[in-house]
Structure 1
Amino acid sequence: MSGQRAQSVVAFGGGHGLHASLRALRRLVDDLTVDELTAIVTVADNGGSSGRLRGEFGVLPPGDLRMALAALCGDDEWGTTWSKVLQHRFAGEGDMRGHVVGNLLIVGLWELLGDHVDALDRVGRLLGAKGRVLPMALTPMDITAEVRGADDTITVVRGQVEVATTDGVIVGIALDPPDPEPCPESVAAVEEADWVVLGPGSWFTSVIPHLMVPEMRDALVRTDARVIVVLNLVEQAGETPGFGPADHLAVLAEHAPDLKVHTVLADRASVGEDLAELADLVAATGAELVVDDVAEHPGSPRHDPALLAAAYARILERG
């Protein structure tokens, strides 16, 4: 996996975190550092337009898939226009209020073609996307979480939206069904990748769920690809209140103790005084810690695509 040739990258996640990571990785496709980019997306959303379409048609929730496709659009007029079209949300007061154009397009193609992957590939070609978008599984599913309350009692919360906004401390998650049908193309992409990127994103509802799909987890464990874990910049109310950088990594290790991590990427300002603790934890796993400037600004919850792209490029170059 020499840095002297273009390499294949598979990025895992969902929502805004994966969108940011893909916008960064798309730049490496443009400069030929990456020749094959695949996004594998969480499909457990039960809220908003996605939740409504899932409930009415029994399909996978399209929202996070749509966001990933939009992130892979080019910066030319064609790409920026289609990215805006894909992300356009209807206003008004009628039944269409809140629905998103891209969600309707994806679900329409699923109904027409009867094939999740073919439909997503066709949307990607329409957009001129700089990569491929795949679901992590082909079965609609729910996330459940065990949550510890203030009185130390454990309750079970069901649904991605509910888990993301819960009170209390999440101590573990599961999928229902526990063995969803994997997407074969997603499993193959992991097995053939040079690099795998986990995060950033909502830790319990966008990142860890990938490791709960048995065949996907097996593929991640046995792949020769080098795994990069990108830590979040801030704690997330509901999911990770009070979490520091080391806490995110510790939770990942608890849910996937057999996953071998090559590199942990953290933002310099976000790490702050937690650097020593994080460095010790990363060293104990045998991984390399890379601390870089990847936030839009110190204290920002969002990654800067250009800075994140530069950090990815340096990691891939070192190999």
Structure 2
Amino acid sequence: MTAMLDKEGWPMRGEAGTKVVAFGGGHGLSATLRALKHITHQLTAVVTVADDGGSSGRLRTEMEVLPPGDLRMALASLCDDSEWGLTWRDVMQHRFCTDGELDNHALGNLLIVALWQLLGDEVKGLDWVGRLLGAHGRVLPMASVPLEIEADVVPREGGEIQTYRGQVNVATAPGNVADIRIMPQNPPVPTEVKQCIAEAEWVVLGPGSWYTSVLPHLLVKELHDALVSTPARRALILNLTEQAGETDSLSAADHVRVLKKYAPAFALDVVIADPSMVDDIDELEDAARELGARLLLRQVCIGAKSGLHDPLRLAAALRDAFDGVLGEVNSPENWLA
């Protein structure tokens, strides 16, 4: 079974649905995209480019390219459930297991980098991969150059603040993040990213690694300014569980406050949270209100106390957010709807 093509030879993505731009990286963004593709085909993913570990880190260092891993995961998440889509999803995610230099490289990473080298353009290369996959949406890098994350971390056992550099080091630092920044401080942002934000009806942040996947979008000046000035409405999806080392000291409300700390001009319209994962709903509601948002409580996890988002449940919650259905679903009898 092959993807249906339009008159220009590109896979049909459809025109129905809300224009949505989703921001993040890794498994968190993947969860959002798997949900959003159920409710709109007018979908763009803007992906972090700070990964410095594993296959992405090796390619970034050896070839001086954007780290492709999070971009690959976003593209794989946008594949449909046809034989074509599922096969290419698995091909993109396939990792080699050898005793040689290809060990642990994801095939999708190599495919993306090959197209970048052939075309000399990251955006065009990603569009070509999306065309091959029949992706239900577009994937763009948040910046045109690789980013590096640096954080000041307070050790758990006490003592002086330590500085860690690199996404992997920050994410696994043995302490609590006190401050974070990116380098370069003002990286260039692709024109296509700014255009899609300006034309969006909704922008969605989260879930994901809060300091290394979600927050960096608001630390890039051009992205921050575009997100603050867009006429689109704004949604934030909270994590289901704490992330060891990065956010295990943060409550659900603290996650929202962190965004306010680094981007006080960034307003929200809705914060989506699973009530079974929130210890203090009143505190979270207050934190959301400080950013102009209402709290939408829905069960969006897979099973009880799961750390994974259910794509269909999350899609239903996002649909309600987009439709403005908030008040009724925040009563306990509707949390499981």
SS at match of 1:7: coil
Aligned partner of 2:205 among 191, 198, 208: 198
Contact 2:176–2:249 (CA under 8 A) maintained in structure 1: no
Provide the rounded CA distance (Å) in 2 between the counterparts of 1:279 and 1:85: 42
Report the equivalent of 2:313.
Answer: 307
Tell me which amino acid in the other structure corresponds to 1:19.
S
Tell me which amino acid in the other structure corresponds to 1:210.
H
Query: Taking structure 1 as reference, are residues 291 and 152 closer, same or farther at Cα in structure 2, changes over 3 Å only?
Result: farther
Report the equivalent of 1:51.
Answer: 57
Contact 2:149–2:181 (CA under 8 A) maintained in structure 1: yes
Report the equivalent of 1:38.
Answer: 44
Corresponding position: 1:264 with 2:271:
yes
SS at match of 2:268: coil
Contact 2:260–2:291 (CA under 8 A) maintained in structure 1: no
1:108-127 correspondence runs (5 A):
108-127=114-133
Provide the rounded CA distance (Å) in 2 between the counterparts of 1:278 and 1:35: 31
SS at match of 1:22: helix
Corresponding position: 1:297 with 2:308:
no
Shift, 1:152, TM fit: 4.5
1:26-175 correspondence runs (5 A):
26-28=37-39, 34-149=40-155, 150-175=157-182
Report the equivalent of 1:24.
Answer: 35
Contact 1:234–1:244 (CA under 8 A) maintained in structure 2: no
Tell me which amino acid in the other structure corresponds to 1:203.
W
| Range moving further from structure 2, 101-110 or 290-299 | 290-299
Report the equivalent of 1:275.
Answer: 281
TM-score (norm 1): 0.95
Tell me which amino acid in the other structure corresponds to 1:151.
G
Shift, 1:131, TM fit: 0.1
Corresponding position: 1:244 with 2:255:
no
Corresponding position: 1:13 with 2:24:
yes
SS at match of 1:147: strand
Long gaps (5+) in structure 2: 1-15, 326-337
Q: Relative contact order (C-alpha < 8 Å, sep 6+): which is higher?
A: 1
Q: Deviations over 1:129-154 (max 9, x none)?
A: 00000000011121001111232422
Contact 2:202–2:233 (CA under 8 A) maintained in structure 1: yes
Contact 1:294–1:311 (CA under 8 A) maintained in structure 2: yes
Q: Deviations over 1:174-194 (max 9, x none)?
A: 111111111111111111100
Provide the rounded CA distance (Å) in 2 between the counterparts of 1:299 and 1:173: 30
Query: Taking structure 1 as reference, are residues 152 and 194 closer, same or farther at Cα in structure 2, changes over 3 Å only?
Result: farther
TM-score (norm 2): 0.90
Q: Deviations over 1:56-77 (max 9, x none)?
A: 0000000000000000000000
Contact 1:137–1:182 (CA under 8 A) maintained in structure 2: yes
Long gaps (5+) in structure 1: 29-33
Contact 2:266–2:291 (CA under 8 A) maintained in structure 1: no
Root mean square deviation of aligned Cα: 1.1
SS at match of 1:27: coil
Shift, 1:285, TM fit: 2.6
Provide the rounded CA distance (Å) in 1 between the counterparts of 2:145 and 2:55: 18
Identity %: 54
Tell me which amino acid in the other structure corresponds to 2:80.
G
Shift, 1:35, TM fit: 4.0
Provide the rounded CA distance (Å) in 2 between the counterparts of 1:235 and 1:35: 31
Contact 1:197–1:229 (CA under 8 A) maintained in structure 2: yes
Shift, 1:284, TM fit: 2.9
